[in-house]
């Protein structure tokens, strides 16, 4: 019974990160659009958050479990997941605006593509809950529940990261005249694979605790590679018409993201 309760708790944490994506559509209730400068900065913040969460949270926790023998293969496996995901995504030209036009079969296909993108982030949340309910785990009380410190850190990090991602999804929907509430829904929809990934990863590391460093490495490798291959190029695409190609805004945002998350990592 305790396992079922833990799985539900992990699912809720993953669902919170998915719902946070919907917050990215909220500003469009009061403004028509974001400038390219702000878009670059927001992607920079997301990049800084993810790098901090990976290095100061997942990698540090993986090393704390001893040898890096499993951590390094985990990092490489996470990179492989994203590489394979990119190849699948490249084979299907999807855009957020197609959500509104898609029939049921197309929605299923789009969800499959989004799973590849969102799943590593859900994995990071699930792995961070590995010590949930175990004796000797370092915990913090949230709403009367004793949660692993790393789990709280990762859930907050992924949630904050999802906000600018929701903004990026909402921008093309705005140009099509999609209503604000539908923009919120499609933003959340794009991250629904995260609670699923969280539950799968949590179940795996609890059943095979000796592979926990591999799990931490896997999540970290996937997220860092996502930043390098998706977040940074996306930011530079928005900043191509800005002075210096938007690199100044990108670096500023990344530094802000790091400064935001580092204190949480060492609480």
How much is the pLDDT for 116? 59
Task: Identify the pLDDT of residue 91.
Answer: 61
For the ranges 103-112, 158-167, 180-189, the lowest mean pLDDT is seen at 103-112
Q: Is the pLDDT of residue 105 over 60?
A: no
Contacts of residue 187, defined as CB under 8 A and 6 or more positions apart, other chains included, come to 21, 22, 24, 25, 165, 166, 169, 170
Indicate if the pLDDT at residue 258 is higher than 70. yes
- Residue 176 predicted with pLDDT over 90: no
Query: What is the full DSSP assignment across 32-92?
Result: S---HHHHHHHHHHHHHHHHHIIIIIIIHHHHHTS-STTHHHHHHHHHHHHHHHHHHHHTS
To which H or E segment does residue 139 belong? strand 139-142
Q: For residue 257, give every residue at least 6 positions away whose Cβ sits within 8 Å of its Cβ, in sequence order, or none.
A: 44, 45, 46, 47, 48, 49, 50, 51, 52
Is the pLDDT reported for residue 1 higher than 50?
no
Quote the DSSP letter at residue 97: T
Examine the pLDDT at 100 and tell me if it is beyond 80. no
Across the range 48-53, mean pLDDT stands at 81
Q: Which helix (H) or strand (E) holds 151?
A: helix 149-175
In this predicted structure, what is the pLDDT of residue 27? 84
Q: What pLDDT is attached to residue 104?
A: 46
CA–CA gap between residue 121 and residue 172 (Å, rounded) = 23
Residue 152 has pLDDT above 70, yes or no: yes
What Cα–Cα distance (Å) separates residue 71 from each residue in 59, 212, 213, 228, 263?
8, 9, 5, 20, 24
As a whole number of Å, the CA-based R_g of the chain is 18
Kindly indicate the confidence band of residue 16, based on its pLDDT and cuts at 50, 70 and 90.
Answer: very high
The pTM (predicted TM-score) of the whole model is 0.68
The predicted pLDDT at position 202 comes to: 87
Q: Look at 176 and 155; give whichever has higher pLDDT.
A: 155
How confident is the model over 187-234, as pLDDT tens digits? Answer: 888 788 889 888 988 888 777 666 778 877 887 888 788 888 877 888
Average pLDDT, the chain: 78
Cα–Cα distance between 92 and 99 in angstroms, integer?
14
Residue of higher predicted confidence among 254 and 94 = 254
Q: In 3-state terms, what secondary structure has residue 174?
A: helix
> Which pLDDT score is estimated for 41?
85
In percent, the amount of the chain with pLDDT more than 90 equals: 7
| Cα–Cα dist 138/149, whole Å | 6
Residues, the chain, total?
Answer: 267
Q: Which of 91, 131, 132, 86 is nearest to 109 (CA)?
A: 91
């Amino acid at each position: 019974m305790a396992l079922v309760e833990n799985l539900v708790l992990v699912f809720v944490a993953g669902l919170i990160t998915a719902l946070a994506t919907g917050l990215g559509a909220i500003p469009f209730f009061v403004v028509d659009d974001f400038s390219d400068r702000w878009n670059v900065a927001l992607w920079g913040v997301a990049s800084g958050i993810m790098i901090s969460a990976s290095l100061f949270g997942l990698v540090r926790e993986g090393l704390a479990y001893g040898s890096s023998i499993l951590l390094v293969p985990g990092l490489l496996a996470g990179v492989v997941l994203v590489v394979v995901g990119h190849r699948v995504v490249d084979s299907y030209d999807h855009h957020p605006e197609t959500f509104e036009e898609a029939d049921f079969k197309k929605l299923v296909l789009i969800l499959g593509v989004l799973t590849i993108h969102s799943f590593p982030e859900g994995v990071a949340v699930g792995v961070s809950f590995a010590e949930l309910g175990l004796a000797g785990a370092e915990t913090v009380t949230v709403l009367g529940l004793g949660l692993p410190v790393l789990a709280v850190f990762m859930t907050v990090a992924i949630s904050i990261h999802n906000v600018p991602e929701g903004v990026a999804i909402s921008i093309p929907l705005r140009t099509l005249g999609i209503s604000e509430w539908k923009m919120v829904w499609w933003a959340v929809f794009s991250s629904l694979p995260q609670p699923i990934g969280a539950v799968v990863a949590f179940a795996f590391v609890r059943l095979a605790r000796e592979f926990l460093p591999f799990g931490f490495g896997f999540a970290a490798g996937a997220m860092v590679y996502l930043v390098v291959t998706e977040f940074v190029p996306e930011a530079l695409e928005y900043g191509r018409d800005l002075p210096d190609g938007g690199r100044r805004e990108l670096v500023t945002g990344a530094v802000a993201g790091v400064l935001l998350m580092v204190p949480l990592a060492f609480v």
